[in-house]
Amino acid sequence: MPLDLAMITTGTDAAPWRSPERHWPALTAATAGLDAPVGALHLGALRHNAHDMVRRAHGTPIRIASKSVRVRSVIEALLRRPGYHGVLAYTLAEALWLADTVDDLVVGYPTAERGSIRRLATDPDLASRITLMVDSTQQLDLIDAVLPPAQREEIRVCLELDASWHAPVLGHLGVRRSPVHDPADAGALAAYVVRRPGFRLVGMMSYEAQIAGVVNRPAGRPVDGAVNRWMQSRSLPELLERRARAVAAVREHADLEFVNGGGTGSLEATAADASITEIAAGSGLFGGHLFDGYAHFTPAPAAAFALDVVRSPSPAHATILGGGWIASGPRRRGRAVVDKPAIQYVVRERLHVTGVARGLSTPTT
């Protein structure tokens, strides 16, 4: 039976996660007969998050970032909902796998998977539905080294623009992704791709991690929050102006099908960018602890996993067995999240968390 993510309103029971004393014991009861580690999705919370992300996107389609979801049935169910279109895949191998049921796939990072490139390049149907990410002529060289243009299908490519902020005095703020930062460089690479046989430039992407992926109200750290909000208020106007010029420069050479930007944390801001045609987002669907630190939205905790408590070295300590999930990005509190705030509920010797345990066993208090 296909997963149904249509919104269902049931009065006071529509948001049980707002009452932790009800929400977590209910998940414990639902998984009581299963051995740990156990992963669980609360469909009510997932429906809430899916609906709220569409609301925040203000009519701009959301391309699902599969690296943040990792559940095929959820991806397929979302694509049946208004407001969602296409997948930003983690790898080319994953895109090929998802292509059995998904029509529009963009690989979120450049690929060096030679076997997957060969499969894509020799299948007309796959080549018409999967787009590869590029930011350098060397990535085109690699594809041609696998199969030259005369021996393969035309490869759809998306040019990635660096969305980080080169701040006065402070320097580079944001992630280091594409080397293409200036609009002139984007236009020059676009012109080169268009001239090169065997490739078709169909899209652009930029990910403003310093806006979408940086909390602006971290608990207990008001100074950090103020600094982050200041940085984001300066970075966003610079990006909007530079991205608009870069998109215009690329459109001089190619009729782009899509221009992708943003993330869960910047849905509203990215939707307001006239140069963007779609937004990539995914992590807000499951609502991890990273989003506890955002002022402008609060997702429901839709995903959790349970670990067994296997010993108690002292009345103040318990040891849980196993590991789990981690958010993308650096390992720190709030991402590697078997920390005190991430422990939701302990009942019947089972620990419900929404993050990762470090090591083979994890002592906690």
Residue 2 within a domain: no
Structure tokens at 241: 């102006």
201 and 189 assigned to the same domain: yes
Phi-psi region of 284 (alpha: psi -120 to 50; beta: other; left: phi over 0): alpha
CA distance 251 to 241: 16
Predicted confidence at residue 222, as pLDDT, reads 85
pLDDT, residue 171, reads 84
Asked if 179 and 152 sit in the same domain, the reply is: yes
Q: Is the pLDDT of residue 13 over 50?
A: no
Own/partner long-range contacts of 323-326 (Cβ < 8 Å, ≥24 apart) = 323/37, 323/356, 323/357, 323/358, 323/359, 323/360, 323/362, 324/37, 324/353, 324/355, 324/356, 324/357, 325/288, 325/355, 325/356, 326/355, 326/356
Are both 273 and 324 inside the same structural domain? no
Does residue 210 sit in the same domain as residue 222? Answer: yes
Q: Are residues 195 and 229 in the same domain?
A: yes
Predicted confidence (pLDDT) at residue 11 exceeds the cutoff of 90 = no
Please determine, for residue 325, whether its predicted confidence score (pLDDT) is greater than 60.
no
209 and 319 inside one domain: no
For residues 52 and 26, membership in a common domain is answered with no
Q: The tokens 């968390």 sit on which residue?
A: 353
As given in the structure block, the two tokens for residue 21 are: 């004393």
- Whether 165 is covered by a domain: the verdict is yes
In whole angstroms, what is the distance from residue 301 CA to residue 326 CA? 15
> Would you say residue 140 has pLDDT above 90?
yes
Query: How many angstroms separate the CA atoms of 277 and 270, rounded?
Result: 10
| Residues 206 and 352 reside in one and the same domain | no
Q: Specify if 288 maps to a domain.
A: no
325 to 46, 201, 238, 286, 353: CA distances (angstroms) = 17, 35, 34, 12, 10
Assess whether 336 and 219 both reside in one domain.
no
- Here the CATH number for the domain that contains residue 233 is 3.20.20.10
Q: State the Cα angle at 354 between 353 and 355, rounded to 5°.
A: 100
Of 123-132, 153-162, 261-270, least confident by mean pLDDT is 261-270
- Residue ending a domain, among 282, 313, 336, is 282
- Quick check: 43 and 7 in contact, CB under 8 A? no
Chain center to CA of 361: 28
pLDDT-derived band at 78, boundaries 50, 70, 90: very high
The verdict on 114 and 17 lying in the same domain is no
CB 187 within 8 A of CB 142: no
In the chain, how many domains are there?
2
- Residue ending a domain, among 226, 252, 282, is 282
CB atoms within 10 A of CB 345: 17
| Residues 338 and 258 placed together within one structural domain of the fold | no
Query: Range with the lowest mean pLDDT among 155-159, 189-193, 276-280, 282-286?
Result: 282-286
For 194-251, the three-class secondary structure string (H helix, E strand, C coil) is HHCCCEEEEEEEECCHHHHCCCCCCCCCHHHHHHHHHHHHHHHHHHHHHHHHHHHHHH
Tens digit of each residue's pLDDT (9 = 90 or more) over 102-124: 999 999 999 999 999 999 999 99
Average pLDDT over residues 310-327: 75
The secondary structure of residue 312, as a DSSP letter, is E
- CB burial of 185-200 (b: ≥16 within 10 Å; e: otherwise) equals bbbebbbebeeeebbe
List, for residues 238-274, the tens digit of each pLDDT value.
Answer: 999 999 999 999 999 999 999 999 999 999 999 999 9
* One domain, residues 76 and 126: yes
Helix-helix angle 137-146:183-195, to 10 degrees? 20
156, 130 contact by CB (below 8 A):
yes
**291 assigned to some structural domain:** no
3-class secondary structure, 350? strand
Please tell me the least confidently modeled range out of 61-70, 171-180, 224-233. 224-233
Domain of residue 61 covers 44-282
Residue 1 lies in a domain: no
Cis peptide upstream of residue 299 (ω within 30 degrees of 0): no
Q: How confident is the model at residue 326 (pLDDT cuts 50, 70, 90)?
A: low
